[in-house]
């Protein structure tokens, strides 16, 4: 599996057979210019969105004619099995910000989980529904999502081998959210990658959990 971080909560994942899935595409310029990331110009076989907010669900901005899954439940696209687990965008059962879907992608080698705009720690039944996690993409900035301390609890509950933080403040994300460093301070092993893309195989998963800080490509 090849994973590329576009920025905010948006990633491209490519299976060994070349099937390309974009997760949570943002709308450049959305929220009165708060999303300053440049548009995503690449094509994909599918676009998957955890919810429809413009910093996550702008599937119409992706070139070509990809299959689109918003709040996915179950689908197969090329080498990817895609499933969704329903959760809330807030800590009030969705009353403030609605629903959110945890997206699970499995290519038969690596199982990747993108928790979208998760707004609460996970109940045991949700952890069981998600299942094994090799790579976890988790928001850490707070305010709209879980904060760094809650994100650390989610990491512990899901027990991934690789963690990739997302949804934190950067010069190109002008939201009232925190930077990534408080979350990194909760993690025992951190690797700051000077790249946007990493290749991950099941055989090469680390024996001990490691957090990768990827460089946004947009």
Give me the mean pLDDT over the 144-162 stretch: 97
pLDDT of amino acid 94 = 58
> Phi and psi dihedrals of 202, rounded to 5?
-60, -40
What are the angstrom distances between the C-alpha of 185 and each of 47, 64, 148?
32, 40, 9
Query: What percent of the chain clears pLDDT 90, i.e. is strictly above it?
Result: 91
Which helix (H) or strand (E) is 30 found in, with range? helix 30-33
pLDDT score of 82: 97
pLDDT, tens only, 77-97? 999 999 999 987 656 665 566
pLDDT of residue 52: 86
Interval 167-180 mean pLDDT: 97
CATH number of 2-213: 3.60.15.10
pLDDT of 43 higher than 90: yes
Please determine, for residue 145, whether its predicted confidence score (pLDDT) is greater than 80: yes
pLDDT in tens, 48-81: 999 889 999 999 999 999 999 999 999 999 999 9
Output the pLDDT for position 4. Answer: 98
Q: How far apart are CA 43 and CA 140, in angstroms?
A: 28
Average pLDDT, the chain: 94
Which pLDDT score, from 0 to 100, does residue 93 have? 61
Cα–Cα distance between 187 and 40 in angstroms, integer?
Answer: 30
């Amino acid at each position: 599996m090849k994973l590329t971080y576009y920025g905010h909560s948006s990633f491209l994942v490519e299976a060994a057979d070349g099937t390309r899935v974009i997760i949570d595409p943002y709308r450049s310029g959305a929220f009165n210019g708060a999303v300053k990331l440049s548009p995503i110009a690449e094509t994909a076989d599918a676009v998957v969105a955890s919810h429809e907010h413009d910093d996550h669900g702008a599937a119409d901005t992706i070139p070509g004619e990809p299959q689109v899954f918003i709040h996915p439940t179950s689908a197969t696209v090329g080498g990817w099995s895609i499933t969704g687990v329903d959760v809330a965008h807030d800590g009030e059962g969705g009353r403030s910000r609605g629903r959110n879907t945890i997206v699970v992608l499995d290519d038969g080698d690596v199982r990747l989980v993108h928790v979208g705009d998760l707004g609460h720690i996970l109940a045991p039944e949700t952890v069981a529904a998600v299942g094994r996690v090799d790579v976890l993409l988790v928001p850490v900035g707070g305010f709209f999502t879980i904060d760094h301390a809650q994100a650390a609890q989610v990491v512990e509950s899901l027990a991934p081998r690789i963690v990739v933080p997302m949804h934190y403040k950067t010069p190109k994300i002008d939201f009232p959210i925190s930077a990534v460093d408080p979350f990194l301070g909760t993690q025992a092993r951190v690797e700051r990658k000077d790249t946007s893309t990493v290749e991950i195989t099941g055989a090469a998963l680390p024996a001990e959990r490691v957090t990768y800080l990827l460089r946004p490509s947009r």
